[in-house]
């Protein structure tokens, strides 16, 4: 990832009130950089390649790494978005509580 792509992320982490939760998709040579930029926060990495996840867990035991298996494919994007858009929306608990306070 080039500097011009990393800088905005770094800027947001710097401005984030500590502790900040930061989720990173994939493990790279910059894994420790991302963790160090989120000083006093929690940085979690998710990795689809279980071999990378295992390797980095041994190499960097202080880093929170989870291996994941995605069940969807990029080719399903339009269908999944349409399905989510067409589903009936349900209020969250916060929305329901707000409605009760208005009564």
Domains identified in the chain and CATH numbers: 3-102 (3.40.50)
Query: What letter does residue 2 receive in the DSSP assignment?
Result: -
Return d(Cα 63, Cα 33) in angstroms, integer. Answer: 11
Does the model's pTM come out above 0.75? Answer: no
Return d(Cα 45, Cα 20) in angstroms, integer. Answer: 14
Helix (H) or strand (E) holding 95: helix 93-102
Model confidence pLDDT, tens digit, residues 6-15? 899 899 988 8
Identify each DSSP E strand in 1-103 by its residue range.
21-25, 42-47, 64-67
Model confidence pLDDT, tens digit, residues 72-103? 888 988 888 888 887 766 656 555 555 556 55
């Amino acid at each position: 990832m080039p500097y011009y792509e990393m800088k905005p992320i770094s800027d947001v982490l710097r401005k984030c009130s500590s502790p900040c939760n930061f989720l990173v998709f994939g493990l790279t040579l910059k894994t420790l950089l991302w963790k160090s930029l989120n000083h006093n926060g929690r940085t979690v990495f998710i990795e689809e390649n279980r071999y990378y996840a295992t390797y980095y867990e041994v190499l960097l035991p202080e880093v929170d790494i989870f291996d994941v298996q995605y069940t969807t494919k990029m080719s399903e994007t339009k269908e999944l978005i349409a399905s989510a858009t067409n589903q009936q929306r349900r209020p969250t608990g916060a929305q329901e509580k707000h409605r009760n306070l208005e009564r």
